[in-house]
Amino acid sequence: MAQNSDQKSNSSGSLPHDAPHVHSTWTSDILETQDKTPYSFDIGGVGYGSDAMRMQSRRGSRGRSTTIITARNRSFVKRRRILVTAVVLIAAIIVVVLVLRYSPLFEIRKIAANQTEHVSSTTISSLAVIPDGATLFNLDESKVVEKLSVNPWIARATITTTFPDQINIEIVERQELALVMLSNGTEAWRIASDAHWLEPVALQEPGSSDTVVATPIEQARAIAKSSNDIFVTEVDGSIKPTAGALCTDDGIGALITYLAEFSPELRSQIVSAKAKSREALSIVLTNGIEVLLGAPNDIIVKERVIIGLLAAHEGEITYINVRVASAPTWRGRTSEDDALAAAALAAQAEQEQRAAAEAAAAAAAADPANALVQVTEASVEEPQAVQPQDTTPAFEPQEGDTNYGYYSEYGTWIWSYFDEFGNYIYGYNDANGNWIPLG
C-alpha cells in the first residue's frame, strides 16, 4: 500500500525531497493552451509552467486537454486593450479639436473693448484686425496684442473669449507724466510714467494767426498746466522722440526715477523741472521754490530733507540744494529779495500808469473840447532801462565751501549759489580760467 501511495504521489508531478540531482536534460514535452501558444516544458520528467501559475487537469477518458493560463498572457491582453482604447480616444480628441477649431459656429463676429481716456473702443477694434474666418479656437492672440501695441498709449492688453462668437479686449493705458520742451524751442512731447514717448503737442509760431501771440514755450507751459503735467525744459539737444519708443536720455530718466520714488505729498507740489543731465537736475514747486536734486541717489533721504526744510522755514526759503543728501544747503529770503519784489511791483504800477496816460492822451486828441485830462510830456516818464546782471560769479566765496558749491565726480569745483543780486550762479572755471555756465 505504501508503494502504491508513493507511486501515486510521484504521478501527481511533485518532486520528492530525496530526488537525485537532475542533469541538464531538457525534454521537449511542450504543452499547449487552448489558443495553441506553447509556454510549458518538463525538466527530468517534472512539468513546470513558463513563469507563474498553472492549472493542470489529468487527461481523462473524455480526452480533455491540459489548459494553462498564465499571468503574462493576462497582462498582455490587458495592455493591448488599454492601448487600443487610448488610440481611439486620442483620435476622437483630434477630430473634436479640428472640428471646433474651424467650425463656423465659433467664428468671431463680435469684439468688445474697454474705452480709455485716449483710446476709444473703435480704435481698439480697428487695431485688432481679426482675420476673416478666425474662430475662438484658432485666433492667435499674441499677434492681436502685437498689433494693439502700435498705439503708444496702450501699455498692455488682455484678450478673453465669450462663447460662441465674441472676444473681449481689455487694455491698460499708459499714465501721462510730463510735457518735455525740446531744445529747439518749437517742439514739445508728452511722456509717460514708464518713460515711453506718447505724442507731440501742437504749437504755433507767434504771428502765424491773429490769435497766436504767445511763444511756443509759453503755449507748452499752458498745455502742461491744463493737463496737470510737469513741464520739463533745458533738456539735452540730442533728444529725438518717436511715438511709442522708450526715452533713453539720462536727465529725463533721472527725473522719472525721482518722481517714481517721491511720495504723493511732494510729487503733487512739482510744477516744472530742468533736466539737462543726471547731475544738473532741478525741480520747481508750486510755491516757486527751486530744489536742486542732482543724481538720483538717496532719494528718500533727500525728500525728508526737502519736506523738513519747507516745514521749518515756511515762507522763508527760496532755494534748496540736496545734491549731497548728507550736506544740504538752502537760501532764505533776504532784504535783497524784498527789494527785488518791491521793484517788480513798482515797475508793474509804472507800466499801468503809463498805459492809462497814453489812453487819456489819445482821448484828448480825439475830442479836445471835452477832454477832462490834460496830458503833458512830463506826465509820462520814460522807464529806466534795466541793466543786465553779470552772472559771472564774484569769487568772494571760497572754493571748497559747501555752502557755495560742490566737487563733481571728476574733482572739478562746481559753483552753486545765489549772489547778492539774487542771481543763481551755477558753473565752473576751466583750466584757462574761463567761466563755463551749467544752467
Average pLDDT value for residue range 314-322:
90
Same domain (yes/no): 217, 116: no
Residue 20 domain-assigned (yes or no): no
> Where does a domain end: 124, 147, 173?
173
Q: What percent of the chain has pLDDT above 70?
A: 64
In the chain the first and final C-alpha atoms are separated, in Å, by 129
Distance CA 190, CA 393 (A): 36
Mean pLDDT computed over 338-363:
64
Residue 285 falls within a domain, yes or no? Answer: yes
Preceding amide of 20 cis, omega within 30: no
Band (pLDDT 50/70/90 cuts) for residue 284 is: very high
Confirm whether 3 is domain-assigned: no
CATH of the domain at 160: 3.10.20.310
Residue ending a domain, among 148, 173, 198, is 173
Do 227 and 310 lie in one domain? The reply is yes
Same domain, 153 and 97: no
Q: How confident is the model at residue 292 (pLDDT cuts 50, 70, 90)?
A: very high
The three-state secondary structure class of 242 is coil
The reply to whether 292 and 229 lie within a common domain is yes
Q: Are residues 196 and 256 in the same domain?
A: yes
Q: Which of 101, 116, 136 is the last residue of a domain?
A: 101
Q: What span, in angstroms and rounded, lies between the C-alpha atoms of 64 and 151?
A: 87
In angstroms, the CA 416 to CA 283 distance is: 15
Phi, psi of 317 (to 5 degrees): -90, 140
Same domain, 207 and 119: no
225 and 298 in a single domain? The answer is: yes
User: According to the model, what pLDDT value does residue 96 have?
Assistant: 73
Lowest mean pLDDT among 38-47, 120-129, 307-316, 425-434: 38-47
Residue 12 lies in a domain: no
Check which CATH number belongs to the domain holding 301 and give it: 3.40.50
Angle between helices 299-312 and 250-261 (to 10 degrees): 70
Pair 118, 162 in one domain: yes
Give pTM, 2 decimals.
0.58
- pLDDT tens-place string over residues 133-161: 898 888 999 999 999 999 999 999 999 99
- Percent of residues, the chain, with pLDDT higher than 90: 43
User: Are 321 and 202 members of one domain?
Assistant: yes
On whether residue 67 sits in a domain, the answer given is yes
Could you give the count of Cα atoms lying within 13 Å of 32 in the half-sphere of its Cβ? 5
41 and 72 co-located in one domain: yes
- pLDDT per residue over 1-55, tens digit each? 444 444 444 444 444 444 444 444 443 444 444 444 444 444 444 444 444 444 4
Domain shared by 211 and 326, yes or no: yes
Greater model confidence, 357 or 138: 138
The whole domain housing 303 covers: 178-332
Question: How distant, in Å, are the alpha carbons of 167, 318, 340 from that of 344?
Answer: 63, 17, 6
- All residues at 6 or more sequence positions from 47 whose CB lies less than 8 Å from its CB, including other chains: 13, 29, 31, 40, 41, 54, 56
Structural domains counted in the chain:
5
Q: Is 14 a domain residue?
A: no
Helix residue spans in 103-157 (DSSP H): 121-128, 141-148
In a domain, 27, yes or no: no
Q: Please indicate, yes or no, if residue 212 is contained in any of the structural domains.
A: yes
Residue labelled with grid coordinates 474651424? 102
Q: Are 242 and 351 in a shared domain?
A: no
